[in-house]
């Protein structure tokens, strides 16, 4: 059994309205040193696979096919024994 931790974020060139809103709210709460905020998604996926490399390949395909939009998002993940 493997646990995959997946982070999906907007590419740097894509406008992030949620991040801008959070940045503005933080600054209004006296956190003036906040320079930028980027909002993303975090997922934990528990899966069965014969090996870590096969689990990683499965998660990579999940990210490419469903969990991220490759046009506007990047993804990174780690897989470890559950």
Contact 18, 9 (CB under 8 A): no
**29 SS3 class:** coil
Stretch 18-29: mean pLDDT: 98
Mean pLDDT across the stretch 17-29? 97
Please list, in sequence order, all residues whose beta carbon lies within 8 angstroms of the beta carbon of residue 58, skipping any fewer than 6 positions away.
47, 49
- Tell me, letter by letter, the H, E, C secondary structure of 41-57: EEEEEEECCCCHHHHHH
Q: In the beta sheet, which residues pair with residue 45?
A: 4
Per-residue pLDDT reduced to its tens digit, 26-66: 999 999 999 999 999 999 999 999 999 999 999 999 999 99
Overall number of domains in the chain: 1
Question: Angle at Cα 58 formed by Cα 55 and Cα 52, nearest 5°?
Answer: 15
CATH of the domain at 54: 3.30.1280.10
pTM equals 0.86
CB 47 within 8 A of CB 1: yes
Q: Which domain holds residue 71?
A: 2-81
């Amino acid at each position: 059994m493997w646990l995959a931790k997946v982070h999906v974020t907007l590419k740097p060139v894509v406008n992030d309205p949620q991040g801008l809103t959070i940045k503005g709210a933080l600054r209004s709460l006296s956190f003036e040193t906040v320079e930028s905020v980027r909002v993303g998604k975090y997922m934990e996926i528990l899966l069965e696979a014969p090996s870590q490399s096969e689990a990683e390949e499965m998660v990579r395909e999940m990210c490419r096919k469903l969990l991220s939009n490759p046009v506007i998002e990047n993804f990174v993940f780690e897989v470890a024994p559950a």
